[in-house]
Structure 1
């Protein structure tokens, strides 16, 4: 039943959801709400590939299997909290965590593969996840102190048996005789997560496999060897769940084969707290290689909604402007190389420096600016995305593009013409 339909989620606030839906419907797409998350949708009519829709191209939807949405939702970090995402690429769950914790919350994401890290960062830019920071690092080697995170998401490498409908060769690639290294890595990562949790902190462990060795047996191992206790999960509406394959597993979730969505396993652990009562966060030095910017006084920021940025600072690294969340500045150890959220480019030096927002820096779009194009029909969008230009009043600097008041992107201005920016 897993591939009977496709699912996606809206990348917006609940108040903006009707606008994104109208944008999709105007192109002939039809869908139904999913019961387990207000912004999840089930696709019912797809006149052409959903990934080519305007909503997808402007990062206002994210195509994601419904089961894959469950780990962040079951971790359920409160708004304003900080989350460590230990195995992050391609960013599906990371960007959902970013939405759940809100702009004053923070998500730190690690990924050891350079290629997959690039994909992760691209997806976080596309979804406007400005409250995130990323690092190329093995999760088991992260240098965060013990007892330093209240919420951790751990979706480790697994055999992927639950994705067999989508990846038919997965059972051959990861037969039961080949999963030993994966099991060992998962235990290493669980142990690392337990160390980094604060007393009472929560780690959500999940896999997209049906293999008992990577699921229930890992839970049993963690309960025996780590300072963790199992916290029962409520069953989200709209799924069919199977019984755990071991006893003593009340409250873990195993998406059944006859449920819509990929096979998934989820377990939520809470740290008992032995050995690190009343931990104190160490203050990290802000000795970063980039240059801090007096961003609000820079040329080029006049038409930007600077109050849309979360608490933090803007630095220049090699001609690029990155937003660094204050939680990243305070939390990340000096020895770990990391990257904030790319929001644009810097040209010139010193008092002559000029900022230009990247096309997807939606957080800086200002509807009250005079340099705004707010559309109500699709024809201008079609022209822009086909490489054609639109006429506009003359001026300097980029122009904000909106659809019915919904921020979409920044456009380049050439005299009286507007064009889609290349990046």
Structure 2
């Protein structure tokens, strides 16, 4: 039986314009990413609630098929779904847990907000949805993240170990009836009781994992009072949490709370806001103890730097952390993961493969591309489109692996075979 994740669907060909998306890049790359969108005829306007967020106003082909989307420089997302990370507002360098993370839109936005020195771990109990989460974070080159999969994190992670937690639990999805018209019927009456119980369990876990003075943002994409205001009241009455009133972001219309003893929460008016119906409540941990241990360190076998350099890779684009091999697979482990306990199973950011002393980077790991290194730097998209269609180009004096750029914006690694350069997603 399906439950709502609230992230919003990826665009498909033929959908109408007016949908929202987020730029996924450094602050200095925003203009280039917008120029890349414009090169495929896509025009967008800035959303009033964040400089990272946009609404499409011209979409000659589906936004999800644009070059910017193909290379992970944008993330298509319902505008309401962008609010929870913004309202949680973790500062740069924060240590964040996203408890129900797939498909990854909110996790990715949190990673952008905390910056390279911050660390975000996204948990997703469903193996199928976990794969989607990892694909999202990989495509968008968010190496300050890690992923794990547990139905109950409370016995696995130390109490008081996160400064910020996002809890967007499974819900009935009544706020998404335009996209999921069966949601109200599926979760009618007492059928919602298991979801309510799960949400309370997850709130209890969040309160335990939160450091003193830390904050947890609870959000759903349903209009159901039992999953919204009633859960807020439960948290205030039974958990060491106090309410933090939320300020209304620009560009939305909000409804009044549906309980008189609940205040400072936000309930998105779906029709008036041209967005999914969303509910959000912010809490702060009162009392408790912060985790003071050193964690389990960083596992895996070190990959020699000379092997990375020999593959044409640079390390300056990576955040603080280490490169580790697990068998033949190579991952980047952010320094923030050192606080995770020994034996806790998680996965860092996939970089490539290491066999017989040779490192081969994944083609889409643009973080390893030296911006001033050898490569193809194209001014137009025609030759890039030809490469993506399976054609090859003269390699000239390019090395075996070199960067592919559009006006200086790194896209990925090219492979040289003989005298030709080609694109391979492997």
Smaller-chain TM-score bracket: over 0.9
Q: Secondary structure at the residue paired with 2:245?
A: coil
Corresponding position: 1:168 with 2:169: no
CA, structure 1 residues 26+102, in 2 after alignment: closer, same or farther (shift >3 Å)? same
Deviation at 1:368, TM superposition (A): 1.0
Unaligned runs of 5+ in 1: none
Aligned-residue Cα RMSD (Å) equals 1.7
CA, structure 1 residues 301+82, in 2 after alignment: closer, same or farther (shift >3 Å)? farther
CA, structure 1 residues 299+77, in 2 after alignment: closer, same or farther (shift >3 Å)? closer
Corresponding position: 1:56 with 2:62: no
More displaced, 383-392 or 202-211? 383-392
1:298-377 alignment to 2 at 5 Å?
298=307, 300-301=309-310, 303-328=312-337, 330-348=338-356, 353-369=357-373, 371-377=374-380
CA contact (8 A) 1:411 1:420 kept: yes
Corresponding position: 1:265 with 2:279: yes
Rounded to whole Å, the distance in 1 between the matches of 2:190 and 2:264 is: 29
Q: Secondary structure at the residue paired with 1:313?
A: strand
Corresponding position: 1:226 with 2:239: yes
Rounded to whole Å, the distance in 2 between the matches of 1:191 and 1:246 is: 22
Rounded to whole Å, the distance in 1 between the matches of 2:162 and 2:298 is: 22
CA contact (8 A) 1:32 1:42 kept: yes
CA, structure 1 residues 219+126, in 2 after alignment: closer, same or farther (shift >3 Å)? same
Rounded to whole Å, the distance in 2 between the matches of 1:68 and 1:137 is: 23
Q: Secondary structure at the residue paired with 1:179?
A: helix
More displaced, 45-54 or 238-247? 45-54
Q: Secondary structure at the residue paired with 1:308?
A: coil
Corresponding position: 1:100 with 2:110: no
Q: Secondary structure at the residue paired with 2:255?
A: coil
Residue 87 of structure 1 is matched in structure 2 by 100
CA, structure 1 residues 163+85, in 2 after alignment: closer, same or farther (shift >3 Å)? same
CA contact (8 A) 2:88 2:166 kept: yes
Q: Secondary structure at the residue paired with 2:93?
A: coil
Rounded to whole Å, the distance in 2 between the matches of 1:93 and 1:46 is: 24
Deviation at 1:299, TM superposition (A): 5.3
The alignment covers a number of residue pairs equal to 411
Residue 416 of structure 1 is matched in structure 2 by 419
Q: Deviations over 1:281-335 (max 9, x none)?
A: 21223473x32223x222544632212212211111121110011111x221223
Q: Deviations over 1:248-269 (max 9, x none)?
A: 3222110013222100000000
Rounded to whole Å, the distance in 2 between the matches of 1:235 and 1:4 is: 26
Rounded to whole Å, the distance in 2 between the matches of 1:141 and 1:280 is: 13
Q: Secondary structure at the residue paired with 2:316?
A: helix
Aligned with residue 258 of structure 2, among 218, 239, 245: 245
Corresponding position: 1:112 with 2:112: no
Q: Deviations over 1:124-155 (max 9, x none)?
A: 00011100111121244451111111111111
Residue 184 of structure 1 is matched in structure 2 by 197
Corresponding position: 1:283 with 2:323: no
Q: Secondary structure at the residue paired with 1:138?
A: coil
CA, structure 1 residues 126+299, in 2 after alignment: closer, same or farther (shift >3 Å)? closer
Unaligned runs of 5+ in 2: 1-7, 9-15
TM-score by length of 2: 0.93
Residue 292 of structure 1 is matched in structure 2 by 302
Aligned with residue 38 of structure 1, among 26, 51, 54: 51
CA, structure 1 residues 142+97, in 2 after alignment: closer, same or farther (shift >3 Å)? farther
CA, structure 1 residues 310+323, in 2 after alignment: closer, same or farther (shift >3 Å)? same
CA contact (8 A) 1:300 1:354 kept: no
TM-score by length of 1: 0.94
Aligned with residue 378 of structure 1, among 369, 377, 381: 381
CA, structure 1 residues 395+376, in 2 after alignment: closer, same or farther (shift >3 Å)? closer
Corresponding position: 1:134 with 2:143: no
Q: Deviations over 1:25-70 (max 9, x none)?
A: 1211122111101021111121111111111101111100000000
Rounded to whole Å, the distance in 2 between the matches of 1:21 and 1:285 is: 41
CA contact (8 A) 1:284 1:332 kept: yes
Rounded to whole Å, the distance in 2 between the matches of 1:284 and 1:229 is: 28
